[in-house]
Amino acid sequence: MQAFLKTGKLGPSEKKPTTSGKTTKARTAPWVEKYRPRTVEDVVEQKEAVEVLKQCMSGADLPNLLFYGPPGTGKTSTILAACRQLFGDMYKERILELNASDERGIQVIREKVKSFAQITASGIRPDGKSCPPFKIIILDEADSMTHAAQAALRRTMERESKTTRFCLICNYVSRIIPPLTSRCTKFRFKPLAEEEIVKRLKHICSEENITCEPQTMDLLVRTSGGDLRRAITCLQSCSRLKGDQVAINKDDVYEVTGVVPDQWIQDFIDICKHKNYSDVETFVNNFISEAYSAGQLCNFQLQDGGSEYLQLIDLGCTILMSNKMK
């Protein structure tokens, strides 16, 4: 029994079963987690945050951090990779990761965060190597926290600065109260360049033995909008839809993402021209241009702290008014 608990084997004669490909667990694991960066050096493109974390891990003290930017740009992956490098096998003991969109009230700050922050930490790992004598609390989606919870967090950050570091992760930095932002080193995570996304997708296709046409790869990148997580998830969904040893094409991407194909828009213009509608191409182009401009304005107002509900109504009204004026 003791041998089984230590090795997971029933006896010396038991051999690990072999398979011709990837293990079942590896195949069923989400690729977003399977190919998440394990070290800070593996993080794509976010040079400023990576450079600061490298310096901190080489001996300098780690400040409180605030990562903000669009989803899928590597905010959570970056801090998790840094924690793995800092703490090694003590990784799970030294970090507290909370999703503030689910646990966003002041009670969570008073109970979970404050209790964890008050625990002291040693500077030696079980393997004898040195490590930072502090813990890290990761608050994902911190812009969903109430103002009362953020105010309570401000005081905790001050009082437990010797034993705990905080990393706040959010999409909209304007929703974080100024007393918190002033206590953190801020890093903006920008959308990833298309060539970086293509490089990572090609690596995944090579590891998973997937055939993806170049035009399909370009469409995946274009529909992701700089969100690497969305691109990887879409690629895995297309792979599961087609099955093994079948090439992924553009129709599969349209099926999974729900994006309207460009050919459909061109067909609509051709039909309207056949029906002798006057200047339909100019109308469609102007309509799309105005809708795009309204969407960009709504996105800016969301980043500035606007309400999603009000911005959605504003975008709908703009499109309706544009349609009536035409």
pLDDT in tens, 166-190: 899 998 888 899 999 998 888 888 8
pLDDT at 168 (0 to 100): 92
HEC profile for the chain?
CHHHHHHCCCCCCCCCCCCCCCCHHHHHCCHHHHCCCCCHHHCCCCHHHHHHHHHHHCCCCCCCEEEECCCCCCHHHHHHHHHHHHHHHHHHHHEEEEECCCCCCHHHHHHHHHHHHCCCCCCECCCCCECCCCEEEEEECHHHCCHHHHHHHHHHHHHCCCCEEEEEEECCHHHCCHHHHCCCEEEECCCCCHHHHHHHHHHHHHHHCCCECHHHHHHHHHHHCCCHHHHHHHHHHHHHHHCCCCCECHHHHHHHHCCCCHHHHHHHHHHHHHCCCCCHHHHHHHHHHHHHHHHHHHHHHHHCCCCHHHHHHHHHHHHHHHHHHC
| Domain membership flag for residue 286 | yes
User: Do 274 and 241 reside in the same domain of the chain?
Assistant: no
User: Do 27 and 116 reside in the same domain of the chain?
Assistant: yes
* Domain stops at, among 257, 288, 306: 257
User: Do 108 and 138 reside in the same domain of the chain?
Assistant: yes
Domain count, the chain: 3
pLDDT at 287 (0 to 100): 61
| Domain membership flag for residue 13 | no
User: Do 182 and 164 reside in the same domain of the chain?
Assistant: yes
| Domain membership flag for residue 11 | no
Q: Tell me the pLDDT band of 5, cut-offs 50, 70 and 90.
A: very low
CATH code of residue 237: 1.10.8.60
User: Do 139 and 285 reside in the same domain of the chain?
Assistant: no
Mean pLDDT of 313-326: 68
User: Do 208 and 275 reside in the same domain of the chain?
Assistant: no
| Domain membership flag for residue 247 | yes
Sign of the torsion formed by the C-alpha atoms of 228, 229, 231 and 235: positive
Residue 123, both tokens = 């500077």
User: Do 85 and 181 reside in the same domain of the chain?
Assistant: yes
Mean pLDDT of 260-276: 61
pLDDT reading at 82 higher than 70: yes
User: Do 99 and 202 reside in the same domain of the chain?
Assistant: no
pLDDT at 21 (0 to 100): 47
Domain span including residue 231: 194-257
| Domain membership flag for residue 4 | no
| Domain membership flag for residue 48 | yes
| Domain membership flag for residue 82 | yes
Q: Bigger pLDDT: 65 or 55?
A: 65
User: Do 139 and 58 reside in the same domain of the chain?
Assistant: yes
| Domain membership flag for residue 69 | yes
User: Do 205 and 301 reside in the same domain of the chain?
Assistant: no
* Domain stops at, among 139, 165, 188: 188
pLDDT reading at 263 higher than 70: no
User: Do 206 and 183 reside in the same domain of the chain?
Assistant: no
* Domain stops at, among 166, 188, 210: 188
User: Do 123 and 42 reside in the same domain of the chain?
Assistant: yes
